[in-house]
């Protein structure tokens, strides 16, 4: 019997990782319990803020992330999904622990290719995700040109909306996030990446089908990559 499981390093934030588990379940072609992906979710919201840790001298999240990767490895996990985009700024250190990390940006790129095989794409994310160029560098070598919100849009719309989701005020986050999607579209984006796992929750809280541009959900993309990894373990 295959004892391998998927590890999910969650809690960043808690709602996003819970939603990831829901999407992992709903996207899996399954007729019974045993057809689903066996997974261990470690959801610990005490991990220090990744944006503050990267941009403003906050506590370093790496020791916390390493401890959780080691715990998931000890639990028998053969690969790890991290439903937090900004945490991928430390992915090289985490991968050095010997468990493959299913990279959320690579997963999102695969989903993006289905709706926008090239051209200009908008990227929404935390200030740290954008500053670290987690999406821009990986996508631009594959042929996309990335545009991002302005500093003012980040400060007044995107970052406050992400904070609203983390505070369980999800419905209130839709309007500012939708405004940024429309702004990126007006600047030429043929698709918009929701590159923070709080952002899809906010967008889905409103009439997102009226936005007029494809949006690529990094949570769904990572869930699909996780399912593909599990299917590869069974073959």
In the chain, where does DSSP find H-type helix? 14-27, 50-55, 62-74, 91-95, 104-115, 127-131, 134-140, 151-153, 159-166, 170-186, 199-204, 218-234
pTM metric for this prediction? 0.96
Q: Are residues 156 and 214 in the same domain?
A: yes
Residues 202 and 230 both lie in one domain: no
pLDDT above 80 for 171: yes
Residue 234 confidence (pLDDT): 81
**Phi/psi at 215 (5° precision):** -115, 140
What range does the domain containing 30 cover?
Answer: 5-103+221-234
Same domain, 131 and 39: no
Mean pLDDT of the region 55-67: 96
Are 128 and 200 contained in the same domain? yes
Same domain for 210 and 152: yes
Same domain? For 113 and 44 the reply is no
Domain at 12, CATH number? 3.40.50.1860
Q: Is the confidence at residue 192, as pLDDT, over 60?
A: yes
**Cβ of 208: how many Cβ atoms within 10 Å?**
17
| Same domain membership, residue 96 and residue 113 | no
54 and 31 assigned to the same domain: yes
Buried b (16+ CB within 10 A) or exposed e, 100-127: ebbbbbbbbbebbeeebeeebbbbbbbb
Question: What pLDDT score does 70 carry?
Answer: 97
Residues 97-115, mean pLDDT to the nearest whole number: 97
| 124 and 87 belong to one structural domain | no
Residues 13 and 57 in one domain: yes
Those residues whose C-beta lies under 8 Å from the C-beta of residue 72, and which sit 6 or more positions away, are 7, 8, 9, 40, 42, 80, 99
**Count of domains in the chain?**
2
138 and 78 in one domain? no
State whether 48 and 98 are in the same domain.
Answer: yes
Mean of pLDDT values over 53-60: 95
pLDDT tens for each residue of 1-27:
567 999 999 999 999 999 999 999 999
């Amino acid at each position: 019997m295959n004892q391998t499981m998927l590890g999910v390093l969650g809690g960043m934030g808690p709602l996003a990782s819970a939603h990831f588990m829901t999407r992992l379940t709903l996207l899996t072609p399954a007729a019974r319990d045993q057809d689903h992906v066996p997974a261990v979710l470690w959801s610990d919201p005490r991990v220090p803020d990744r944006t503050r840790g990267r941009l403003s001298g906050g506590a370093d999240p790496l020791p916390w992330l390493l401890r959780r990767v080691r715990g998931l490895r000890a639990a028998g996990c053969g690969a790890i999904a991290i439903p937090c985009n900004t945490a991928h700024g430390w992915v090289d250190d985490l991968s050095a622990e010997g468990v493959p990390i299913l990279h959320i940006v690579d997963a999102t790129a695969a989903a993006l290719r289905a709706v926008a095989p090239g051209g200009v794409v908008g990227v929404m994310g935390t200030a740290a995700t954008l500053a670290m160029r987690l999406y821009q560098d990986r996508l631009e070598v594959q042929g996309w040109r990335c545009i991002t919100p302005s500093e003012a849009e980040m400060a007044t719309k995107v970052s406050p909306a992400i904070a609203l989701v983390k505070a369980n005020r999800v419905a209130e986050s839709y309007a500012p996030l939708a405004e940024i999607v429309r702004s990126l579209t007006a600047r030429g984006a043929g698709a918009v990446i929701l590159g923070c796992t709080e952002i899809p929750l906010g967008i889905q809280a409103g009439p997102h089908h009226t936005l007029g541009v494809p949006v690529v959900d990094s949570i769904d993309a990572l869930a699909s990559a996780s399912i593909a990894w599990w299917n590869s373990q069974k073959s």
